[in-house]
């Protein structure tokens, strides 16, 4: 099957691409490399350096495809607060461009990468798909709007689009950036024997899910007949940030100091996914627990050429 993956040079997208190639699919990757890396793109792919805001590029890329995994996005609460127009243009208008191209070319399913950021501050745990959606940032708002657009296309155009709400994803091909998630930040700083900064008291909890499980969820939801709608994708477990900091030091074999600073705007206190709907719909069953996943990730990170430059060059 010919499949399009937008954002396929990025962290999650590149892991999905590799799984698709291992299953002998023909893969087209569209990525503008704003946050992805060309080294992540398998040479067996057809790689198009393009932007989801470019309608002509997307139209060309979709031709002949039967399934689309849409991961290209502006990611993160902090980035969206600083650049809300970019956030909405990429996440909402970019998604609409994908949906329109899919409609024109007869593609009946788009797997949209959404986020638990659509929920905002949580009222109940664990979080089911019908939990109130009251996002605390432009990022969560743009992802929620894009979800609604995917679901409207299901109604209007007889599509079977799927929205996967990722919780905190980590794993191979995830590199540090200034807006990055806590695991790559902690991992890089521990590898450099630098202090860790924790926002607030550190007793906030997160549901961390390994990228291999997320890639599997994408492919299962994409290839399972009859699957459509919105699904949570997490591990179904949670850990405090204090415990994560301790685990990162244990895995790396380095002891560093911890600095606590005031909480950040837009951060939720607790997070835990109810993944029963995904388990029932497409047999989603996370396999990677946090200690083994973090061990594998830090081994990869310590050999990654981009990260080695950051370590040697004194990056954060």
**CB count in 10 Å sphere of residue 268:** 18
Strand partners, 5: 29, 69
Catalytic residue (choose from 139, 166, 176, 231): 139
Dist. CA 188–CA 168, nearest whole Å = 17
| Contact predicate 12/215, CB 8 Å | yes
Dist. CA 28–CA 5, nearest whole Å = 6
Angle at 35 between CA 135 and CA 41, to 5 degrees: 125
Dist. CA 106–CA 88, nearest whole Å = 26
Q: Which of 110, 106, 11 is nearest to 52 (CA)?
A: 110
**CB count in 10 Å sphere of residue 228:** 17
Residue 315 structure tokens:
């990056």
Active site residue 170: no
37 secondary structure, DSSP code: -
Contacts of 148 (CB under 8 A, 6+ apart): none
Angle at 168 between CA 166 and CA 174, to 5 degrees: 105
Residue 229 structure tokens:
């709608």
**CB count in 10 Å sphere of residue 230:** 21
Dist. CA 100–CA 174, nearest whole Å = 30
Helix (DSSP H) and strand (DSSP E) numbers for the chain: 12, 13
Dist. CA 5–CA 249, nearest whole Å = 35
User: Catalytic residue positions?
Assistant: 139
């Amino acid at each position: 099957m010919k499949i399009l993956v937008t954002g396929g040079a990025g962290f999650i997208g590149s892991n999905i691409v590799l799984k698709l190639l291992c299953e002998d699919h023909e893969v087209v990757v569209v990525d503008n490399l704003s946050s992805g890396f060309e080294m992540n793109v398998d040479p067996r792919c057809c790689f198009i350096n393009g932007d989801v805001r470019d309608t002509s590029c997307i139209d060309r890329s979709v031709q002949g495809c039967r399934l689309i995994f849409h991961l290209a996005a502006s990611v993160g609460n902090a980035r969206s607060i600083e650049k809300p127009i970019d956030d909405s243009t990429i996440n909402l208008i970019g998604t609409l461009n994908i949906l329109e191209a899919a409609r024109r070319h007869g593609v009946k399913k788009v797997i949209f990468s959404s986020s638990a950021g659509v929920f905002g501050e949580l009222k109940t745990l664990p979080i089911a798909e019908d939990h109130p959606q009251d996002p605390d940032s432009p990022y969560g708002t743009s992802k929620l709007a894009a979800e609604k657009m995917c679901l409207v296309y299901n109604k209007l155009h007889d599509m079977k689009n799927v929205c996967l709400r990722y919780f905190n994803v980590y794993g191979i091909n995830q590199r540090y950036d200034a807006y990055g998630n806590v695991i790559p930040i902690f991992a890089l700083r521990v590898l450099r024997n630098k202090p860790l900064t924790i926002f607030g008291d550190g007793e906030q909890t997160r549901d961390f899910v390994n990228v291999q499980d997320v890639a599997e969820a994408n492919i299962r939801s994409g290839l399972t007949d009859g699957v459509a709608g919105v699904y949570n994708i997490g591990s179904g477990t949670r850990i405090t940030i204090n415990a994560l900091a301790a685990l990162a030091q244990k895995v790396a074999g380095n002891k560093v100091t911890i600095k606590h600073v005031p909480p950040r705007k837009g951060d939720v206190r607790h997070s835990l996914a109810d993944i029963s709907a995904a388990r029932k719909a497409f047999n989603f069953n996370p396999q990677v627990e946090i200690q083994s996943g973090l061990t594998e990730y830090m081994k990869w990170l310590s050999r990654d050429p981009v990260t080695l430059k950051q370590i040697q060059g004194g990056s954060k």
